[in-house]
Chain A
Amino acid sequence: MTRSKMQQHGVDSPLAKNAPANRWFQLLVQNQTFWTAPLVTVLFSLFVRWAVALNPYSGFQTPPMFGDYEAQRHWMELTIHLPIKKWYRYDLQWWGLDYPPLTAYHSWLCGIVGSWINPAWFALDESRGYESPDSKHFMRATVVFWESIIFIPAVLVFTQICYGKQGHLKKNIAALLILLQPALIIIDHGHFQFNNIMLGTTLWAVNCFMMQQYALGSFFFCLSLGFKQMALYYAPAVFAFLLGKCFKEPNGIAMFIRLGVTVVATFGVLLSPFLTSVEDILQVFHRVFPIARGLYEDKVANMWCAVNVVVKLRQLFDLQTTIRLSLVATVLTMLPSVIHLGLNPTRKRLMYGLVCCSMSFFLFSFQVHEKSILLPALPVTLLILEEPWAVNMFINVAMFSMFPLLKREDLVLPYFLVTILWNYLAGFHTISMSKVVKLLTSICYTVILVWHIAESHIPPPQALPDLYTVLNVLFSCGCYLLAFLYFNWRQINLVDNATEYTDHRKKHQ
């Protein structure tokens, strides 16, 4: 249903009228205690995060190498004990640091606080594979802490910017659903990573762009890149948007220079400890972009893995060819969206541009992890009130595609629970839709359901031990491709002009 239709119906949000989230906030309105809504939303989402955090993490009690949790802990350990020069060189076989410097600084800060509480948690070399309830609690707390000061405020500001002028209801519903998006929760607080910092800084950048603070926005985006190189997935869209703005805005050249200086200065400061020698800086780049690891490692729901079922690309081509192949494919697929965004740099198109651009990276680029779906998932989630149906499908498929990973880590129960919780609150089961869409949706869910039942009850045949994972990859990849096409189509056909949001502002004043 289109937005205008909804407004005719007098419903303030595009979700169904009796969606639990909707009813909850309406109740607060009736009772005139609406001031509690944002607080309750934040507390509730924190509660869910802490509850998920009670579960095991990646590599829990699995020596010798443990998992991502140990990687993060190890970085805290090595950054507080070693001089900066050694950070990217120390015993690389044991979870060598392979994220950009901001992650290293962040690890250093967490490590300092942690070893102040208990030095044994981060003793150099001695603490490898260290596991205790208290150290787990500390590590979990660092994730929640950073999320509460970066990502959560960013979401609240974002919803204020987008829906602040359209009544309280919409704003709060959007905030609740974005904060409870299950994929980010289960990876950061279950599996254990700090994606929320990268996504949070990206979201701050988006917020700044929307408020026309382009320099500040690009500063935030540089922080995001400096935290995890994966933020590059967004870079072409952000670049196209800013470039387009430089052409549209008065004093475009001055703005262009300002942006350039901001970017160079930010990276300069971030990398400054390594800039003293060419060797150091090369070592950082070598660690951050490990091209030697091949086109793909695990089974990921992207094109290369899916094609691999039929054609063994890795054996067919050498490394250099596969890099070139993936580069060309990525660039070609993102071009339509990026060029379109550059020509029409509006706020709403930026969101779609981010989705399309990061999707083409996810589907076609080199060395993608299943968790990288979080990158497209962020801008997708931000569109929750614009595209309830597509967003819902996308996130559910994203969760599904990560299931093999989560199952290995014993996160099956929280996987189901956070997904159901989010779907239920949004009342996705009550969205009205056309027959074709309904059919498509039910086919998707039937496939997922049948897969889950089969996977838990029927062991795979001996000859094909990875049968279920491969089926999962093929199905998810198909869905992602459809989503990619859909969001591209939506972006190009978007009825949006630069004045849309200002119009709203005028109307309500």
Chain B
Amino acid sequence: MLNVLVVSSILKLLLVGAYRSTDFEVHRNWLAITYSLPISEWYYEKTSEWTLDYPPFFAWFERLLATFAPLADGKMLQVDNLNYASENTVLFQRLTVIVSELVLYWAILRYRRSFGSKYVNWVIAGSIFLHPGFLIVDHLHFQYNGFLYGILLHSIVEMKKRRYLLSGFLFAALLNFKHIYLYMAPAYFIYLLKAYCFQPIPTPTENGHADRQAYANVSRFSLVNFIKLGATVVVVFAISLGPFVYMGQIPQLLSRLFPFTRGLCHAYWAPNFWALYAGADRVLIIIGKRLGWSLNQDALGSMTRGFVGDTKFAVLPQIDAIHTLIITVIAQLIPLQLLWRKPTFNNFLTSLVLCGFASFLFGWHVHEKAILLILIPYSLMAANTKAHLKIFIILSASGIYSLFPLLFHSAETPIKTIFTLTWLLIVLPSLARTLHTPLRAVLHPLERLYLVGLVVLQIYTDVLHTVIFGTGKLEFLPLMMISIYTALGVCYGWVRLMAGYLNGTI
């Protein structure tokens, strides 16, 4: 495992000079804000358009990183030094990502110890640490997901070890690092409530089956445990939000964290249900024009132009935030009721993934990067059964591919494609091998065709599109194709997983 760490760190350092998105400047700005300004101004400062919109723990994390920044280049810490990116600044910020990922490294080591040192866990641990999603989003695009997922993984490991309080504590802390993990909170809530706060009353069953006892319906509510759990969570939130409550800044803080003024879809549609919905609308527009329907005129042009505006539909009904909320909640409740009835660890993991899924597929203004919420926890169960492996392959391929447009420069194209291919080539045969089944037998011919389609799509968007239409023409088309095609794969994975979970066949 140390070898993996050393080699991957060398590779990541090689990419220091590669493309970085505006998120790089976002985080530089946050370094500057947290370092140079008193806490009371953190959530008010708006010199840069990239205001602080992560919860307080993340701000403290930035503050911690900023203490080391003067060693590299102190100028990056000036709030008004916008878009500052000296060589040392870039190196420093890239290094903070690589170093903070040690939390993830530690987490996978612990995962391997607590889940058993079987070969399959070695593969899974390695596959998470070297996940192409992290390479693309963290080391090129620039974010700190490796660090955050490290905390999540620690929390899951604690859950596996039945140290519920610690697990809940870690998850509460994680929420205060980045609130996107709220998507997963329902699964945590239900599982902790049922597995920790309800104590099963041992009833002698006739066959004495151990599993039955674990989720026997005869259980007693333990108020002590509930208070302990509640207190843990409350303390975490109090530490995080307390100073801002004291300063009366909570409304301002919340308005930063939850900006509801954005549209349904992000500029580039995340591969979710709404991408399919919007795609269907586009198709209907074309059909409608042929048949002479009356169309919502101001919607016609808005689909691809408005960067962060409302998405309007010309044919299909409009979608509001409340609709997405209702659908998301329903999609989460379905797996959660099963978790409530059978609170096993495996069901918890599946529910966790399905909660992430529900929010990703049906949520409001979802970013494509959120696909990691599904991919990373799912890795943990990838080799449980053949059906899981099948879903994992489809999801990983389409999910990682949907991240490709984040790096739109030609120079990084080989980097992301080769890395993803290598990753798939190492991980998939190994996982198939641990299930004692040939890789071929896992996938249906149609599913294989879908994967081949991804390759064809990559060639089209990369080469053929420019050849056919010329540079700079119809630039939205490849992006639309990618998000719709990958949305198909992601939705398919969700349906399979949901069905298998509910039937108990997975």
Contacts and interface: CB of A to CB of B under 8 A. Distances in A.
Interface residues of A, number: 38
A50 B7 contact: no
B201 interface: no
Given A36-B425, A43-B425, A133-B409, A51 B14 contact: yes
Interface string A41-69: 00110111011111100000000000000
A20 B7 contact: yes
A33 B430 contact: yes
Contact of A137 (B13, B123, B411, B419): B411
Interface in B5-32: 6-7, 10-11, 13-18
Given A30-B119, A48-B11, A134-B410, A40 B17 contact: no
A144 B7 contact: no
A32 B13 CA distance: 32
B261 interface: no
Given A51-B15, A413-B13, A421-B7, A31 B425 contact: no
Interface string A1-34: 0000000000000000000100110000011110
Contacts of A140: 411
Nearest to B2: A20
A53 B13 CA distance: 13
A36 B426 CA distance: 7
Contacts of B421: 43
Interface residues on B, range: 20 to 34
Nearest to B439: A33
A388 interface: no
B119 A24 contact: no
Nearest to A30: B119
A427 to B, nearest CB: 9
A39 B425 contact: yes
Q: Is the interface of A mostly helix, strand, loop or mixed?
A: helix
B418 interface: yes
Contacts of A141: 414
Interface string A484-495: 000000000000
Contact of B422 (A40, A136, A413): A40
A299 B449 CA distance: 58
B3 interface: yes
A39 B422 CA distance: 8
A420 interface: yes
Given A39-B425, A43-B422, A425 B415 contact: no
B411 A133 contact: yes
Contacts of B471: 118
Contact of A417 (B10, B414, B434): B10
Contact of B10 (A55, A134, A420): A420
A141 B415 CA distance: 12
Nearest to B123: A31
A409 to B, nearest CB: 13
Contacts of A413: 13-14, 16-17, 91
Contacts of A136: 411
Contacts of A285: none
A414 interface: yes
A23 B14 contact: no
Given A32-B433, A134-B410, A40 B425 contact: yes
A95 B360 CA distance: 56
A31 B433 CA distance: 7
B429 interface: yes
A424 B119 CA distance: 24
Given A20-B3, A33-B433, A39-B425, A48 B14 contact: yes
B119 A54 contact: no
Given A31-B123, A31-B430, A33-B429, 5 more contacts: A36-B425, A40-B425, A51-B14, A54-B415, A136-B411
- Nearest first, the 10 closest Cβ-Cβ pairs linking A and B are A51-B14, A20-B3, A50-B414, A33-B429, A43-B422, A137-B410, A47-B418, A421-B10, A137-B411, A54-B18
5 contacts: A31-B434, A33-B430, A40-B422, A43-B418, A417-B14
